[in-house]
Amino acid sequence: MSNKSDSPSTDRRQFIGGTLAAAGALTLAPGVILHALAANDKATAGASGEHRWGMVIDTNKCADGCSACVDACNSEHALEGHDRPATDAVWIRPVKLKDKQTGHVNRLVMMCQHCEHPPCVDVCPTNASFKRVDGVVLVDRHRCIGCRYCMMACPYKARSFVHEALSDQSVNAPRGKGCVESCTLCVHRIDAGGMRTACQEACEKEGHAAILFGDLNDPESEISRVLKTHNSVQIRADLELNTGVRYLNL
C-alpha cells in the first residue's frame, strides 16, 4: 500500500468486496444447486419432454346415447357416484350441440384438455396443479388444499371437487376428499408404457373409435398423422391455451 498518493487505496475495498461476494456465493450456492437438482428430479421422474400426450376426438363418430367412455373412465378410476349429479365427480362427459344458425348437430366428449398453458396451474396457490413435461396436467393430492380456485379458472369445467368421503379407491388414481381432480389422461397407463386410455379402449370396443390417444410430438404417431391430414379445432381456441385435446368435424 502506498502512502505517497493521497487517493484512497482500493485494495481493502476489493478485499472486502471479494469476501462479501464469496460469502454470498457460498450462502446461495447450496440452495441454488439443491433447487436445480429438485427441479431436475421432478422433470425426469417418469415423464419425458420428448413426448406430448394428447387426444383427437372425432365428433362424427361419437354415437348418440352412448356412454361407454364415461363408464370406462368411472370404473378405471373408481369414480363412484352418489346419484348427486351436481357434486359427483365427472372426469369425462358427453355434450350434444346444435348450431344456432344452421341447426347442425354435433356430439362430443369433454374432459381436461391438457393445455400447454393451463389456467388451473397458473392460479393454484400451492403448486398442487401442475403440468408434467409430457403435457399431462395433474393435481398433486398431497399439496391440494381444496381452495377450488383452479375450478374457477378452468375454461372447460373439467375439474371436480371431491365432495364426500371415499371408499374402495383404485390404485390407478389415488383420490382425496376435499381435493380437486380431473382427467389424468390415464397417466398410470402412460407410465406403464401403455398407448391407449380407458375411454379410447371402451369407444373402440363399442365400434365407434371416436377417441384417439397418442404422442403429438412424434410425427410418425397415428394422432399426428390424423391431425396433419384433417382440419381439427381446439375448444375455446381464442384463449390460446394450445390444448392437448383436439376435435374433428366440429
Q: Which residues in this chain contact other proteins in the complex, by CB under 8 A?
A: 67, 70, 82, 84-87, 89-90, 92-101, 105-107, 110, 119, 121-128, 143-149, 151-157, 159-165, 176-180, 235-236, 239
Which CB atom, from 6 or from 238, has the smaller least distance to other proteins? 238
Q: Which residues pair with 213 in a beta bridge?
A: 55
Nearer Cβ to other proteins (57/70)? 70
Q: Specify the amino acid at residue 89.
A: A
Nearer to other proteins, 33 or 97 (CB): 97
CB of 37 to other proteins, least distance (A): 18
How, if at all, do strands 180-181 and 160-161 pair? Answer: antiparallel
Q: How near is the Cβ of 136 to other proteins at its closest, in Å?
A: 18
Query: Do the Cβ atoms of 108 and 247 come closer than 8 Å?
Result: yes
- Closest contact distance (angstroms) between CB of 46 and other proteins is 21
Interstrand relation of 232-233 and 245-248 (parallel, antiparallel or unpaired): antiparallel
Instruction: Return phi, psi of residue 91, to 5°.
Output: -95, -25
Closest to other proteins by CB, 56 or 121: 121
Cα–Cα distance measured from residue 159 to residue 153, given in angstroms and rounded to the nearest whole number: 10
